[in-house]
Amino acid sequence: MRRRVFFVLGIAAPLGVAMAVACGQGAVGVDACNQIERARCQWIEQCFGDAGPYYGLPTPRSNSASYVDDCIRYYQDACLHGLVSNVQPSTGQVSECVAAINSATDCTIVANPETADACAFLLDYDASDADAE
């Protein structure tokens, strides 16, 4: 019995610490992520069809209403981690990026929004924040 308790504690304690660190409150740009991904999801059928997973977009489950709905639900969870960038974008930057995605004439910007001038902030990364960790 004692060995089982130590075994469980040996696994549960490190796992709990890892989860606490991974799920901290430091997510940057959660709302921005949701807005950008919602705009990208509107293009999933036109640009990707059933090739969504190759572009980081989910394919719908058999009980889903549509690719778009499933994509939006997927990113509601994924965006809880925030943007890869650790720099908070302004409301104006996010609006301009969403507008660039919405007005795209091909799927290049949809697949890689950071390539659009209006979405360049997605590549911003403050190295001093990484040094502080």
Contacts of 120 (CB under 8 A, 6+ apart): 114
User: Tell me, what's the pLDDT at 61?
Assistant: 56
Residue 16 lies in a domain: no
pLDDT tens-digit map of 2-22: 554 343 334 434 434 334 444
pTM of the complete model: 0.68
Q: What's the pLDDT score for residue 9?
A: 37
Residue 97 resides in a domain: yes
Angle, to 10 degrees, between the axis of helix 91-102 and the axis of helix 30-41?
Answer: 10
Q: What is the pLDDT of residue 94?
A: 97
pLDDT digits (tens, 9 = 90+) for 37-51: 999 999 988 887 654
What range defines the domain where residue 71 resides?
A: 26-132
Q: How far apart are CA 35 and CA 41, in angstroms?
A: 10
The total number of structural domains in the chain stands at 1
Percent of the chain with pLDDT over 70: 62
Q: 77 lies in a domain?
A: yes
**Residue 100 pLDDT:** 96
**Chain length of the chain:** 133
Q: Is residue 123 part of a domain?
A: yes
Residue 68 lies in a domain: yes
